[in-house]
């Protein structure tokens, strides 16, 4: 399949969903209500599950807040519920907390609440996403000094602990400690009014909020899988902001394209034959015409990825070459593997997630055709979010089929430690690679500082992409958001994880 045929197929297949370039965006119904439409329903609204973007975009800095935030401009650590912090020694940090802050249930925010949130996030019985991902590999032991001072001790050197605290959303200590909650209580500018499963999440401005009050008093988040539907809802006034608009739908003056810190890829399950042969994994990469996908199925500003983080992330390796499109070499690698007894004709399942990004199904249909052209026996299976998460997260069935999984990895925190441990170490909750050498590189990098930290993280990215070939990197992504003409809102690089309702107002 060449670039011309991909382009033609993409345009024909997508044309039916296109919207007119010059749409008329009607005025809002009332000045204090807002409707936002996203791709899918949150999996959880528990404050300890914000490592999944579908959850954090509703919770983070809307319902719940963290000790610190990270600047969307340069990733620097900025105050939030903590006003100051310092490293006491290699294993000890002190945080000073904001005074006169209350949770939505009236309970005071203090050091005891932070300690409870830390203990809850690390409880194995709760299986919190933040504990399984961002906080993985380090034990955090809180010590309450006084209501406005907390000491956090680590069992290993953690040079960027404040950055990691930007991932710990803090809920009321009165929330259950032995189970996940569907009724989060935070300190944010909005409180949860109602979660109607399968329909919507309703938020209401919190009168007792400690900082500037939001202009929007009532916000509703709804979800629709189809890009064209989301775009049309803003056109008709059913919504004022719509995320993840597909390139063919995002052609009006009200559509804003921006880099979103996400990298799209296919994760290879390399434990299962024939994917346990490196030649087969290399052939997967050579069989995909990435140039032909840009500007057709993916946004024209998407960039071919060499690794799973963007160039702005500390530890990014600029010396990893992008894969070239070489289906003939892919065929020869498969033939060589076949000659050695590798079952290359075995069916490989491509697991996709409906709505993970615009044209997600179309992208995999094109990739499936490319793989078939190179000699793979690939079958596509598109999944809703819940069954897809079962393929993403461990444990996996021992007798599973060989598979590759459509996924995205985002890193708005600015350091490779927020990407590598959970996704590429032997005990990582989403990792499909078991390699002691890689484990050591990532562990050593996580403890290091400065140039040594960068060097080791760069080594890890090279090992994953070039030596192990554990992934099929695709693109550093671009998102389109449609915003009604009378709404003040500028999406930033964090928009995939945070809706930031407090920043929205009407003109």
Average pLDDT score, the chain: 93
Encode pLDDT of 469-494 as tens digits: 999 999 999 999 999 999 999 999 99
Is 437 a member of any domain?
yes
SS3 label, residue 152? strand
Residues 272 and 385 in one domain: yes
pLDDT at 9: 41
Strands 505-506, 303-304: parallel, antiparallel or unpaired by DSSP? Answer: unpaired
Domain boundary among 110, 142, 174: 174
30 pLDDT tier (thresholds 50, 70, 90) = low
CB-CB neighbours of 220 under 10 Å: 18
Residues 432 and 285 in one domain: yes
Output the domain CATH number for residue 312. Answer: 3.10.105.10
Q: Residues 392, 54: contact at Cβ < 8 Å? A: no
Rounded (10°) angle between helices 3-14 and 360-373: 150
Give the separation between CA 347 and CA 274, rounded to whole angstroms. 9
Give the separation between CA 285 and CA 263, rounded to whole angstroms. 16
Domain boundary among 123, 140, 174: 174
Burial class (CB in 10 A: 0-12, 13-18, 19+), 192: buried
Average pLDDT over residues 138-161: 96
Residues 440 and 320 in one domain: yes
Domain boundary among 121, 151, 174: 174
Is 419 a member of any domain?
yes
Residues 305 and 157 in one domain: no
pLDDT at 31: 73
Average pLDDT over residues 108-126: 97
Residues 370 and 276 in one domain: yes
- Per the structure, the count of domains in the chain is 2
pLDDT at 18: 40
Encode pLDDT of 306-350 as tens digits: 999 999 899 999 999 999 999 999 999 999 999 999 999 999 999
Residues 392 and 273 in one domain: yes
Range of the domain at 300: 3-9+259-479
Strands 241-242, 218-223: parallel, antiparallel or unpaired by DSSP? Answer: unpaired
Is 454 a member of any domain?
yes
pLDDT at 432 over 80: yes
pLDDT at 377: 98
pLDDT at 466 over 90: yes
pLDDT at 28 over 90: no
Is 401 a member of any domain?
yes
pLDDT at 137: 85
Is 40 a member of any domain?
no
Higher-pLDDT residue of 176, 28: 176
pLDDT at 13: 41
Output the domain CATH number for residue 128. Answer: 3.90.76.10
Q: Is the peptide bond before 311 cis (omega within 30 degrees of 0)?
A: no
pLDDT at 8 over 70: no
Residues 291 and 395 in one domain: yes
16 pLDDT tier (thresholds 50, 70, 90) = very low
Residues 145 and 267 in one domain: no
Is 310 a member of any domain?
yes
Is 120 a member of any domain?
yes
Residues 139 and 273 in one domain: no
Average pLDDT over residues 258-277: 96
Is 364 a member of any domain?
yes
pLDDT at 2 over 60: no
């Amino acid at each position: 399949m060449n670039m011309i045929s991909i382009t033609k197929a993409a345009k024909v297949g997508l044309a039916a969903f296109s919207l007119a370039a010059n749409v008329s965006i009607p005025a809002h119904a009332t000045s204090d209500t807002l409707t936002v439409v996203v791709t899918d329903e949150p999996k959880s609204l528990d404050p300890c599950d914000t490592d999944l973007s579908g959850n954090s975009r509703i919770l983070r800095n809307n319902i719940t807040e963290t000790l610190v935030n990270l600047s969307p401009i340069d990733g620097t650590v900025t105050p939030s519920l903590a006003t100051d912090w310092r490293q006491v020694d290699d294993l000890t940090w002190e945080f000073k907390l904001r005074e006169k802050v209350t949770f939505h249930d009236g309970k005071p925010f203090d050091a005891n609440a932070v300690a409870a949130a830390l203990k809850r996030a690390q409880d194995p019985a709760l299986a919190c996403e933040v504990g399984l991902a961002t906080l993985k590999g380090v034990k955090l032991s809180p010590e309450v000094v006084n209501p406005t001072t907390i000491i956090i001790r680590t069992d290993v050197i953690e040079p960027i602990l404040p950055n990691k605290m930007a991932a710990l959303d803090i809920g009321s200590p009165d929330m259950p400690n032995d189970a996940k909650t569907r009724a989060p209580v935070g300190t944010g500018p909005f409180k949860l009014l109602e979660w109607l499963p399968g329909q919507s999440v309703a938020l209401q401005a919190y009168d007792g909020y400690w900082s500037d009050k939001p202009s929007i008093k009532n916000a509703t988040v709804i979800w629709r899988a189809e890009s064209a539907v989301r775009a049309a809802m803003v056109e008709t006034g059913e919504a004022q902001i719509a995320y993840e608009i597909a390139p063919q739908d995002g052609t009006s003056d009200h559509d804003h394209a921006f880099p979103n810190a996400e990298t799209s890829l296919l994760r290879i399950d390399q434990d299962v034959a024939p994917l346990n042969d490196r030649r087969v994994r290399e052939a997967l990469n050579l069989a995909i015409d990435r140039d032909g996908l840009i500007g057709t199925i993916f946004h024209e500003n998407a960039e071919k990825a060499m690794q799973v983080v963007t160039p702005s992330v500390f530890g990014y390796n600029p010396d990893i070459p992008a894969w070239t499109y070489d289906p003939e070499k892919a065929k020869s690698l498969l033939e060589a593997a076949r000659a050695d007894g590798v079952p290359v004709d075995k069916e490989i399942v491509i697991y996709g997630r409906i709505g993970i990004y615009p044209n997600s199904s179309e992208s995999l249909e094109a990739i499936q055709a490319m793989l078939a052209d190179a000699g793979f026996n690939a079958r596509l299976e598109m999944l809703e979010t819940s069954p897809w998460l079962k393929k993403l997260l461990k444990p996996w069935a021992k007798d599973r089929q060989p598979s590759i999984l459509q996924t995205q990895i985002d890193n708005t925190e600015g350091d490779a430690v927020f990407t590598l441990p959970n996704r590429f170490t032997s005990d990582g909750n989403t990792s499909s690679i078991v390699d002691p050498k890689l484990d050591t590189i990532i562990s050593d990098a996580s403890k290091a500082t400065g140039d040594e930290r960068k060097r080791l993280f760069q080594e890890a990215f090279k090992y994953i992409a070039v030596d192990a070939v554990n992934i099929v990197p695709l693109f550093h992504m671009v998102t389109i958001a449609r915003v009604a003409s009378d709404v003040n809102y500028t999406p930033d690089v964090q928009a995939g994880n945070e809706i930031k309702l407090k920043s929205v107002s009407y003109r």
